[in-house]
Amino acid sequence: MSQTATNRPPTAKIPSVQDKWRLLTLGIPLMFAACLLMFIIHISVGAKSLDYQTIIKAFIDFDVKNFDHIIILKVRLPRAIIAIAVGASLAVAGAIMQGVTRNPLASPSILGLMSGASFAIVVALGVFGIFSPYLTPWIAAFGALCAAILVLVIASLAPGSTTPLNLTLAGVAVSAFLGAIISLLNLMDEDNFDQLRVWLTGSLAGKDLNIFYIISPWLIISMLMAVILSRKITILGMGEDVAKGLGVKPTGLKIQLMAVVIILTACSVAMAGPMGFIGLVVPHMVRLFIGADYRWVTPYSALLGATYLLAVDIIARLVIAPQEISTGIITALIGGPLFIYLIKSRGR
């Protein structure tokens, strides 16, 4: 111990709080630039090679008769925008869940919210034939809310009540149960469920911006809520007693945050189906570099989530071009090993 202190170079300087704030503040525009760069790459590459002049012309002098312009503005652009929205939503939802439950394994997919939202949409569409871009987000939100309540009830009935482990186990059980019912519904009416098969893998193909326009007000409100409440999430992370001591009402805060998480999850599922691992991996990556201050974790998660899903979708579109792989399959393929790597990195 003393040896370490002795060996420390006299010029070594522990970064001050101000330095850290300066670095983190500088990091936001850098992350934004990375996201913008990925966005530009996303709309520049695809199954059909297009030169930069065509891409620029599509934006400044759009010709509806030019198929290349249609590819840019009607295929790639909506897809990129939805990738940004879904990536940011799921990453922020995951970060909040991990903060509120103080459970590093918490995410919309692990705690059953995504399964709940997917299940509600599958039942609405496959059983009742309801498909409306106006109703879908609400149906998804209702499903996510029911799943969240179910997980909380199951976890609270277990010894130790809502411990991180109980919540995780309850979430896994609810996800498995709802997944089994989806499979059963599929078996009972295979032909009609055929159309949901691709959606259930999490896909960004063939999306137009209509659903995004419908959902965006809710996304913006819930993102703003997440940013506003982020300071309190950090305090909540110190324990409920500390939070109470600092004037934070844990129950009320948890309800507000759960509403934000449900809206973010429902919006992303309504736009692209269930996309696993984003809500789990991205907040982990962010905390690895940023720490546990949610004033930074929230915006960084949003930017990294958006950048990550844009990058993953580029891979999904290019890896076997001109064929495509569902983006959700690639998020799982990359997310699984990446999560294991992150866990190992934290352990070192």
Partner 1 sequence: MKKSLTKIAFAICFTMAGLSSLAQAADTRIFTDDLGREVKIPSHANRIASLHDGMLTLPLIELGVIPAGSAGRISKTSPPFIRGSKGLTGYDFDNSDIQFLGKYPVDLEKIVALKPDLIISTTTYEDILDKLTAIAPTIIIDNVKNSREQMFATLADITNTQKTLDVLNIRYAQQIKDINAVIDTKNISVNVMQASGGKLYVWHSYFSLGKVLRDAGFTFPKLVDEIAVGERRELSAEKLQDLDADYIFVTYRTDRAQAPQDAVAEFEKVIPNFCDYLKACRENRMLMMPREAASSTSFTALGLSAFTVLTHISGNPYAAKITQ
Q: Give the torsion through C-alpha atoms of 110, 313, 340, 171, to 10 deg.
A: 0
The span of 90-98, 156-164, 198-206, 243-251 binding partner 1 (CB under 8 A) equals 198-206
CA dihedral (237, 148, 258, 275) positive or negative? positive
In the complex, minimum distance from the CB of residue 130 to partner 1, in angstroms, rounded to a whole number: 14
Q: Which of 20, 57, 74, 254 binds partner 1 (CB under 8 A)?
A: 74
Q: Is residue 203 close enough to count as binding partner 1 by CB under 8 A?
A: yes
- Alpha-carbon gap, residue 265 to 86, rounded angstroms: 9
Piece of the chain touching partner 1 by CB under 8 A; list 16-24, 64-72, 101-109, 334-342:
64-72
Number of C-beta neighbours around residue 44 at 10 A? 16
Q: What end-to-end distance do the CA atoms of the chain give, in Å?
A: 19
Q: How far is Cα 346 from Cα 127, in angstroms, rounded to an integer?
A: 45
Give the residue with the Cβ less far from partner 1, 19 or 189: 189
Residue (166 or 326) nearer to partner 1, CB: 326
Interface with partner 1, residue 22, by CB under 8 A: no
Residue pair 101/254 in contact (Cβ under 8 Å)? The answer is no
Q: For residues 82 and 229, which CB has a smaller minimum distance to partner 1 in the complex?
A: 82
R_g of the chain, CA atoms, integer Å: 21
212 binds partner 1 (CB under 8 A): no
47 binds partner 1 (CB under 8 A): yes
Q: Which is nearer to partner 1, 292 or 315 (CB)?
A: 315
Q: Does 206 bind partner 1 (CB under 8 A)?
A: yes
Should residue 57 be labelled a site residue for partner 1 when binding is judged by CB under 8 A? no
DSSP class per residue in 231-260: HHHHHHTT-HHHHHHTT--HHHHHHHHHHH
Q: Which is nearer to partner 1, 141 or 313 (CB)?
A: 313
Region near partner 1 per CB under 8 A, out of 28-36, 42-50, 90-98, 334-342: 42-50
| By the rule CB under 8 A, 322 interacts with partner 1 | yes
Three-state SS letters, 62-104: CCCCCHHHHHHHHHHHHHHHHHHHHHHHHHHHHHHHHHHHCCC
Q: Is 75 in the site for partner 1 (CB under 8 A)?
A: yes
DSSP character for 16? Answer: P
By CB under 8 A, residue 128 contacts partner 1? no
Contact between 247 and partner 1 per CB under 8 A: no
Which residues, in sequence order, are CB contacts of 231 under 8 Å at separation 6+? 294, 295
Which of these segments, 18-26, 99-107, 191-199, 286-294, binds partner 1 (CB under 8 A)? 191-199
Of 107-115, 144-152, 158-166, 195-203, the segment contacting partner 1 by CB under 8 A is 195-203
**Residue 199 CB, nearest approach to partner 1 (Å):** 7
Say if residue 337 is preceded by a cis peptide, omega within 30 of 0: no
Report the alpha-carbon distance of residue 35 to residue 19 in Å, rounded. Answer: 24
Q: Which is nearer to partner 1, 196 or 262 (CB)?
A: 196
Residues found near partner 1 in the complex (CB under 8 A): 46-48, 64-65, 67, 70-71, 74-75, 127, 187-192, 195, 197-199, 203, 205-208, 317, 321-324
